Amino acid sequence: MSHDTITPVVTEAGRAKPPTMTRKRAGRRRPWGTYAVRVALVVVWLGSWELAARTVIDPFYYSMPSKVWQRLVDWFTEGTSQGSIWTNIAATLEEAVLGFVIGTLAGVVLGVVLGRSRFIADVLAPFIKGANAIPRIVLASLFVIWFGLGMSSKVATAFVLVFFAVFFNSFQGAREVDRVLVDNSRILGASRWQLMRSVILPSATSWILASMHVAFGFALIGAIVGEFTGADKGLGLLINHAQGNFDAAGIYAGMLITTVLALVAEWLITQLEVRLTSWRPPSHTASAGV
Amino acid sequence: MTQIHSTGSRPAISLNGATKRFGTKDGTPFTAIRDVTLDVAAGEFVSIVGPTGCGKSTTLSLVSGLEPASEGTVEVAGQPVTGIPDGVGYMFQADAVLPWKNVLDNVALGLRYRGVARRDADERARAWIQRVGLAGFEDRYPHQLSGGMRKRVAMAQSLITEPSVLLLDEPFGALDVQTRELMQDELLGLWSGTGAACVFVTHDLTEAITLADRVVVMTAGPATVKDIVSVDLPRPRSAEEIRLTPDFIELYKRIWDSLREEVEITRARGASRVA
């Protein structure tokens, strides 16, 4: 029990864990109690929903857990009205991942370049502020006109949402690089490119990674909203179709699948973060304790 | 201008009437140093002392080429400084080792930047890590080291490039007294015989005398050279023992007399600003 709380301190000599991991460790202090209460909460929540839908509220509008479960089973065993569920998941995932990857790359490159070049940043500042103020989700409609019902319009929607989230963080990250680190590397003979690779990018990494957590959520939203606007397959289409049929259970089922995708992606990004920031001290409180 | 071309007598560092002004937010320029003239010979160790915040560090920025001089000339190895000159090493007051690189990669950094192959650079870095007493810590990250150990890394990182001019900006200022003395001895040991010209900025007069061949006293800001005192104490020196010798105390008194006025001016200004 108590040894879990001191683990970050003990391991500091070996592998450093970034703050997120330490927080999780602290959360696992009394594992069984925590898990039991969590399960109990879910049971109470789903149970009361099921009970209410069977007695007071109208399951036609609000559906109920058993119906949602049945819909999920149907989708995975017999397929959906729009074909195999896997095809639909794959379509949405592909759009989201493409938008995420392209948006992240563009955001990092432009953010770092602007963060390091005062002049370009000054020139572009009002345009970027303006572009950020546009309700970007509306662009999904425009993209359908431009790129048609296929995959590219959804990728474009995911891209614009991801780009700005990552851009602003990497811009900030590139600006906040410790001056002394830059000077020291310059004295040691770093060229512009070496400075970028060994000092500025690693320094901005924490900022960029922080934005990537949010950004994948945005990519999924972009893909699904894009499919809402017009598509021939995808989870957004399934949800839209369910809405058209007053099928509340279908909407819940689509939501649930999307949530699972987002959680898996979140887990993967956390793994990446752990890998890239292994140099970081365990956490401020833990290192102060050392 | 007298230009002496024999390498023997050409100073490693030469400042001539160097002045540095910074623009401030309200538009009035702030003069950090004015009309500084100073030569440092190869293999010479010069300490610069002055009241806190007088602009001592700016002198180093000019020599290192991190900042251009507003007026006057700055030369390193006979060449006017434009950009960062070859063969300059710099130890900063703050931690300047890269937190995301381990000790080995940090020490090898200068060589890697200069295009030395990884294997060769690592080998030389290991030798330097040994020399600064950090053998066995090669794969630790800076946050896993103590403040004194990080300074050792910084020292190896600067010295591995074999600088002919070594600039030190209060590098041991943040260390406790015992560690500081240890690091002073370490620095003298590593420096002796390298033939590098050292300029060591500090506000600690004991440290200045312990290390230097000459102590330069700067005035209250805008700083200029007030006094240059030769330190004729025998080398090799031990930081702990030398400060108890009568010669040292004599020198301390003499330089402190000169420095005290400037410190008092700075204090008076601080007081008037508060009032």
Probe site for chain A from B84, B97, B101, B113 (most A CB atoms < 10 A): B113
Q: Which residue of B has its CA nearest to A283?
A: B143
Is the ipTM here above 0.85?
yes
pLDDT at A182 over 50: yes
Q: Please determine, for residue B8, whether its predicted confidence score (pLDDT) is greater than 70.
A: no
What is the per-residue pLDDT for A29?
60
Q: Which residues of chain B neighbour A277 with C-beta distances below 8 Å?
A: 100
Query: Hey, is the C-beta of A11 within 8 angstroms of any chain B C-beta?
Result: no
pTM: 0.81
Distance of CA A59 to the CA centre of its chain: 32
Asked if A40 and A69 sit in the same domain, the reply is no
Measure B63 CA to nearest chain A CA, in Å: 11
Q: Among all residues of chain B, which has the CA nearest to that of A184?
A: B96
Please judge whether B143 and A281 are an interchain contact, meaning their C-beta atoms are less than 8 angstroms apart.
yes
- What was the pLDDT predicted at A46? 94
Tell me: pLDDT of A280 over 90: no
Give the pLDDT confidence score for residue B54 in this predicted structure.
76
Residue A13 pLDDT exceeds 80? no
Which whole number is the average pLDDT over B146-170?
Answer: 94
Give the Cα separation of A248 and A245 in Å (integer): 9
Write the CA distances from A223 to A11, A94, A99, A155, B82, integer angstroms.
Answer: 41, 9, 8, 7, 53
Mean pLDDT check: name the lowest of A28-42, A150-164, A173-187: A28-42
- How do residues B253-267 score in pLDDT, each as one tens digit? 999 999 999 989 888
Task: Summarize pLDDT for A80-108 with one digit per residue, the tens.
Answer: 888 899 999 999 999 999 999 999 999 99
In this structure, the answer to whether residues A74 and A54 fall within a common structural domain is no
| pLDDT value at B246 more than 60 | yes
**First vs last Cα of chain B: how many Å apart?**
47
What percentage of chain B carries pLDDT values higher than 70?
A: 96
Q: A118 and A29 share a domain?
A: no
Q: pLDDT value at position A104? A: 96
Q: pLDDT tens, A203-236?
A: 999 899 999 999 999 999 999 999 988 888 999 9
**What's residue A157's pLDDT?**
94
- Are residues A186 and A238 both part of a single domain? yes
Q: Does B113 touch chain A (CB under 8 A)?
A: yes
Three-state DSSP at A270 gives helix
Chain A neighbours among B 57-76 (CB < 8 Å)? Answer: 64, 66
A chain contacts of residue B158, beta-carbon cutoff 8 Å: 188
**According to the model, what pLDDT value does residue A16 have?**
35
Most confident among A6-10, A203-207, A276-280 (mean pLDDT): A203-207
Same structural domain, A106 and A243: yes
A180·B96 Cβ contact <8 A: yes
Please compute the mean of the pLDDT values over residues A162-177 and round it to a whole number: 93
Q: Cβ separation of B110 and A188 shorter than 8 Å? A: yes
pLDDT band at B162 (very low <50, low <70, confident <90, very high): very high
Q: What tokens appear for B204 in the block?
A: 């600690």
Q: What is the CATH number of the domain that holds A241?
A: 1.10.3720.10
pLDDT at B9: 66
**pLDDT grade, residue B181 (50/70/90)?**
very high
A19 plus A69 within the same structural domain: no
- pLDDT at residue B163, rounded to an integer: 95
Q: What is the rounded distance in angstroms from the CA atom of residue A88 to the CA atom of residue A90?
A: 5
Based on the fold, state whether residues A222 and A131 are members of the same structural domain. Answer: yes
In a shared domain, residues A94 and A27: no
Question: Does residue A30 carry a pLDDT above 90?
Answer: no
Task: Give yes or no for B192 touching A (CB within 8 A).
Answer: no
The pLDDT score that the predictor gives to residue B270 is 80
Contacts of A185 in chain B (CB under 8 A): 98, 109, 113
pLDDT-derived band at B10, boundaries 50, 70, 90: confident
Which among A16, A185, A187 has the least Cβ separation from residue B141?
A16
Q: What is the DSSP letter of A18?
A: P
Over the stretch B193-218, which tens digit does the pLDDT of each residue have? 899 999 999 989 999 999 999 999 99
More confident residue, A7 or B101: B101
Which value, in Å, is the radius of gyration of the alpha carbons in chain B?
Answer: 19
pLDDT of residue A2: 38
Report how many domains make up chain A: 2
The yes-or-no verdict on residue B3 having pLDDT over 60 is no
Q: Looking at beta carbons, which residues of chain B come within 8 Å of A178?
A: 94
- Domain residue limits at A175: 65-289
Q: What is residue B84's three-state secondary structure? A: coil
What sign for the dihedral angle of Cα B74, B78, B84, B87? negative
Cβ-Cβ pairs closer than 8 A, A with B, add up to 68
Length, in residues, of chain A: 290
Q: Can you give the pLDDT at residue B274? A: 62
pLDDT value of position A285: 39
B137 close contact with A: CB closer than 8 A:
no
pLDDT tens by residue, A239-251: 999 999 999 999 9
Residues A52 and A71 in one domain: no
Cβ distance of A16 and B114 shorter than 8 Å: no
List domains and CATH numbers for chain B.
13-87+165-274 (3.40.50.300), 99-162 (no CATH)
The pLDDT assigned to A283 comes to: 58
Candidates A10, A22, A187, A287, partner chain B, best to mutate (most B CBs within 10 A):
A187
Lowest mean pLDDT among A23-37, A202-216, B33-47, B179-193: A23-37
Residues 11..50 of B with a Cβ closer than 8 Å to A: which?
none
Residue A245 and residue A145 share a domain:
yes
B88 touches chain A (CB under 8 A): yes
Question: Among partner residues A13, A178, A190, which is closest to B113 by beta-carbon distance?
Answer: A190
Answer whether residue A284 shows pLDDT above 60. Answer: no
Over the Cα atoms of chain A, what is R_g?
23
Candidates B253, B235, B245, B125; CA nearest to B185 is B235
More confident residue, A8 or B188: B188
- Would an 8 Å CB–CB cutoff place A199 in contact with chain B? yes
Mean pLDDT, range B134-144, rounded to an integer: 94
Q: How far apart are CA A85 and CA A239, in angstroms?
A: 12
Predicted confidence band of residue B28 (pLDDT cuts 50, 70, 90): confident
B161, A189: Cβ pair inside 8 Å? yes
pLDDT at A131: 87
Q: What was the pLDDT predicted at A281?
A: 78
Core vs surface per residue B225-237: b (16+ CB within 10 A) or e? bbbebebeeeeeb
> To the nearest whole number, what is the mean pLDDT of chain A?
85
Do A123 and A16 fall within a single domain?
no
Q: Pick from A13, A186, A188: which is nearest to B144 by CB?
A: A13
Same domain? For A76 and A51 the reply is no
Q: Which range, of B4-8, B42-46, B184-188, averages the lowest pLDDT?
A: B4-8
CB-CB neighbors (< 8 A) of B100 in chain A: 202-203, 205, 277, 279-280
Cβ contact, residue pair B114, A183, below 8 Å: no
CB of A184 within 8 Å of a chain B CB? The answer is yes
* Half-sphere exposure at residue A145, Cβ-oriented, CA atoms within 13 angstroms: 4
Q: Which helix (H) or strand (E) holds B228?
A: strand B225-230
